[in-house]
Amino acid sequence: MPFMGVLLYTGGCKVRKNEAMGATLKERRQWMKEYALCSCLSLVGKQDTAFRNDISRSVYIEITDYYRTTDKNIYNVVDSLSYKAFRSITPSQIADYEGKKPYMMSCIEFSQSKELDSLIRTYDYQIQIIP
């Protein structure tokens, strides 16, 4: 099994659906960051069957409860930012790595970035409160 498949199988990009009920704003923001990580990693693993069959992003969409009715919804904006982060990953300058790119490390750093956090906070008003 490819490494990316192992990551998903062993717990990367996962969340329990029952956690969504009564989730706090802080939890929903964290889930959006995890969604962003999944989005970035899915770009890395586009050719990997594990990613093509992975449902993690859909699960995060379902549990975060942000509005999805407009083109400029948080998911589209985060996907665009994930793509930008993915495209900006540069090869390692360390000779031992022979110019290979640190995809996973870069996606993790992106998901923990201040830029992403700030973006997510601007969409707080779009969280659907289900009584």
Q: Convert the pLDDT of each residue in 20-30 to its tens digit.
A: 767 888 999 99
- Has residue 11 been placed in a domain? no
SS3 at position 76: helix
Which residues does 48 contact at the CB level (< 8 Å), separation at least 6?
2, 4, 5
Query: Does the residue 12 lie in any domain?
Result: no
In a domain, 101, yes or no: yes
Q: Could you list the residue range(s) of the whole structural domain that residue 77 is in? A: 23-126
Is the pLDDT score of 8 beyond 50?
A: no
CATH code for position 97 = 1.20.120.1620
Identify whether 6 is part of a domain.
no
| 33-47, 67-81, 109-123: range with highest mean pLDDT | 109-123
Tens-digit pLDDT profile for residues 69-79: 777 799 999 99
Q: Domains in the chain: how many in total?
A: 1
Residue 103 forms part of a structural domain: yes
Structure tokens of 86? Answer: 């993915």
pLDDT tens profile 57-66? 999 998 888 8
pLDDT surpassing 50 at residue 115 = yes
Assess if residue 16 is contained within a domain. no
